[in-house]
């Protein structure tokens, strides 16, 4: 068994060709590009029990060699994944079920009859790979770069494989993101949190692609730094999965949810005070703002404009054809992996970052809630939209971390505050003016609100 650490980046055929000749890769290419065809058959039970257990079983033909591989799901976010992999070299193109013993086989599948395993789909592609030396200072880093072009085929369905895969052979995982960022600054490369196996399952059953990622389980005693990192990784990963599925099927609701993840990320970055000095996140915040400035109006227009909904897939495809979204995702991943917000903060920032979430969060909500001045907006509801950034900061923490708060009816508070946020985004007329004033009064009267802003 080995641990596989890699990042997958969706590309176009033109981008693959450009990567092959990219000066950065040419300079550091120590092996030259080696070309080969890989034929891969994936197996599962008729009820897809392996997929349910988050493992993939594959039989690959590489030239004259047959390789049986079992992979665990492991951890994967924003295209960067770490998982366990077991390989067995076989003499013929037939599964060797005896290899699938307790040393690798998931305990959850202990009762599975392995004889029920059957072929489900194939992923056949041409791979051009090269060994890239990516040393920084005395640290030696070796990365295998692979350009994959081919198809996933399941029954009568098929999807093109066109991606750059960077796999760490030696060194620290941050090196993968460093190399990916440098390439994505010039070429459209999209971190893709979906494996070739997941694409096969999605073709086999369109409903099998799991959009939702489990929300992190936050505890009151964990540090603010740990809680922030868990939430930011979660939002970034969710945005990647939603982007991939929207690219796949164009459902408007997925685009709405994608935008919501980005809004939450932006609010989260702005909420930490001295625990995350503004200078440490300036580049990320500016990139997020530029993205949101373009996509918020489009989503708002699409609420009542069918033509905008019809045009949105083409606009999103154009977004993916540029460098902006992919580069932002990679830079944010690198920033989170290195915990860059912690490196140059002052002593007060260190104390805040190390504070228990259960102590810090009520203080944040008290400060933000008091500054919201709900009583003022009962009298001046037309001005409520100016408080949207503050409402977003309140909502992201209430949505994802309210379980650590010891206040009554906190779920109701989140729901009512979210209604107020939605009203703040609507065009104002006499009816909306009254609805805003009424909703402001409802929020301010809640037990949870009073407990938080006392």
pLDDT tens digits along 252-286:
999 999 999 999 999 999 999 999 999 999 999 99
Same domain, 337 and 387: no
pLDDT tens digits along 222-248:
999 999 999 999 999 999 989 989 999
pLDDT at residue 211, rounded to an integer? 67
| pLDDT average, residue stretch 325-329 | 95
Domain total of the chain: 3
Could you tell me which residue, 2 or 429, shows the higher pLDDT?
429
CB within 8 A of 404, min separation 6: which ones?
218, 219, 220, 357, 358, 361
pLDDT at 68 over 80: yes
List the one residue out of 397, 400, 336 whose CA is nearest residue 78. 336
pLDDT tens digits along 1-31:
678 889 999 999 999 999 999 999 999 999 9
pLDDT tens digits along 79-137:
677 788 999 999 999 999 999 999 999 999 999 999 999 999 999 999 999 999 987 66
pLDDT at residue 213, rounded to an integer? 75
Same domain, 371 and 341: no
The full length of the chain comes to: 454
Sorting pLDDT into bands at 50, 70 and 90, what band is 36?
very high
DSSP SS3 for 311? helix
Same domain, 102 and 12: yes
| pLDDT average, residue stretch 25-39 | 95
| pLDDT average, residue stretch 300-324 | 95
Residue 43 near residue 58 (C-beta atoms within 8 A): yes
From 347, 366, 401, the end of a domain falls on: 347
pLDDT at residue 428, rounded to an integer? 86
Helix axes 224-249, 347-354, angle to 10 degrees: 70
pLDDT at residue 76, rounded to an integer? 63
- Evaluate whether residue 370 is within a structural domain: yes
List the one residue out of 306, 303, 240, 293 whose CA is nearest residue 263. 293
- Evaluate whether residue 219 is within a structural domain: no
Same domain, 188 and 289: no
Helix/strand/coil percentages in the chain, nearest 5: 55, 20, 25
- Evaluate whether residue 42 is within a structural domain: yes
DSSP E strands, 11-79? 34-44, 55-62, 65-72, 75-77
pLDDT at 194 over 90: no
- Evaluate whether residue 218 is within a structural domain: no
- Evaluate whether residue 433 is within a structural domain: yes
From 347, 366, 392, the end of a domain falls on: 347
Same domain, 63 and 192: yes
* CB neighbourhood size of 407 (10 A): 16
Could you tell me which residue, 208 or 86, shows the higher pLDDT?
86
Share of the chain above pLDDT 90, in %: 85
From 293, 320, 347, the end of a domain falls on: 347
Same domain, 170 and 242: no
Half-sphere exposure of 12 (CA within 13 A, CB side): 12
Share of the chain above pLDDT 70, in %: 97
pTM, full prediction: 0.92
pLDDT at 74 over 80: no
Domain that holds residue 426: 356-452
Same domain, 72 and 195: yes
Tell me which residue has tokens 């905008």.
308
CA distance readout (Å), 357 to 58, 113, 233, 267: 43, 46, 17, 17
DSSP characters over 125-158: EEEEEEEEE--BTTB--EEEEEEEEEEEEETTEE
Same domain, 313 and 430: no
Average pLDDT along the chain: 93
């Amino acid at each position: 068994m080995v641990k596989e650490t890699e990042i997958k980046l969706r590309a176009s055929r033109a981008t693959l060709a450009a990567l092959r000749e990219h000066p950065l890769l040419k300079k550091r290419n120590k092996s030259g590009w080696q070309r080969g065809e890989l034929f891969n058959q994936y197996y599962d039970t008729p009820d897809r029990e392996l997929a349910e257990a988050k493992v993939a079983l594959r039989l690959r033909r590489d030239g004259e060699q047959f390789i049986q591989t079992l992979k665990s799901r492991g951890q994967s976010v924003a295209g960067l994944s770490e998982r366990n992999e077991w390989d067995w070299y076989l003499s013929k193109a037939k599964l060797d079920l005896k290899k699938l013993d307790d040393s690798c086989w998931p305990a959850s599948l202990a009762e599975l009859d392995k004889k029920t395993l059957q072929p489900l789909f194939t992923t056949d592609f041409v791979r051009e790979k090269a060994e890239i030396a990516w040393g920084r200072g005395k640290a030696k880093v070796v990365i295998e770069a692979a350009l994959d072009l081919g198809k996933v085929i399941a029954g009568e369905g098929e999807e093109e494989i066109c991606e750059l895969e960077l796999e760490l052979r030696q060194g620290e995982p941050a090196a993968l993101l460093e190399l990916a960022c440098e390439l994505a600054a010039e070429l459209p490369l999209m971190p893709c949190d979906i494996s070739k196996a997941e694409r096969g399952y999605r073709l086999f059953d369109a409903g099998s692609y799991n959009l939702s990622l489990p929300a992190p389980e936050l505890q009151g005693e964990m540090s603010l730094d740990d809680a922030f990192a868990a939430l930011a990784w979660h939002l970034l990963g969710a945005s990647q999965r939603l982007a991939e599925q929207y690219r796949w099927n164009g459902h408007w609701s997925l685009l709405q949810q994608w935008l919501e993840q980005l809004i939450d990320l932006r609010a989260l970055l702005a909420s930490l005070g001295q625990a995350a000095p503004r200078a440490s996140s300036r580049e990320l915040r500016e990139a997020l703002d530029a993205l949101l400035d373009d996509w918020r109006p489009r989503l708002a227009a699409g609420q009542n404009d069918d033509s905008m909904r019809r045009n949105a897939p083409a606009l999103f495809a154009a977004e993916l054809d540029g460098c902006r979204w992919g580069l932002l995702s990679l830079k944010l991943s690198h920033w989170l992996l290195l915990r860059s917000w912690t490196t140059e903060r002052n002593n007060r920032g260190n104390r805040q970052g190390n504070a228990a979430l259960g102590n810090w969060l009520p203080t944040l909500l008290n400060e933000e809630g008091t500054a919201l001045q709900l009583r003022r907006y009962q009298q001046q509801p037309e001005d409520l939209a100016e408080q949207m950034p503050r409402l977003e900061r309140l909502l992201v923490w209430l949505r994802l971390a309210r379980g650590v708060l010891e206040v009554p009816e906190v779920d109701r508070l989140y729901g009512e505050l979210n209604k107020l946020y939605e009203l703040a985004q609507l065009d104002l007329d006499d009816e909306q003016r009254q609805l805003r004033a009424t909703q402001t009064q409802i929020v301010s009267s809640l037990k949870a609100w009073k407990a938080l802003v006392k």
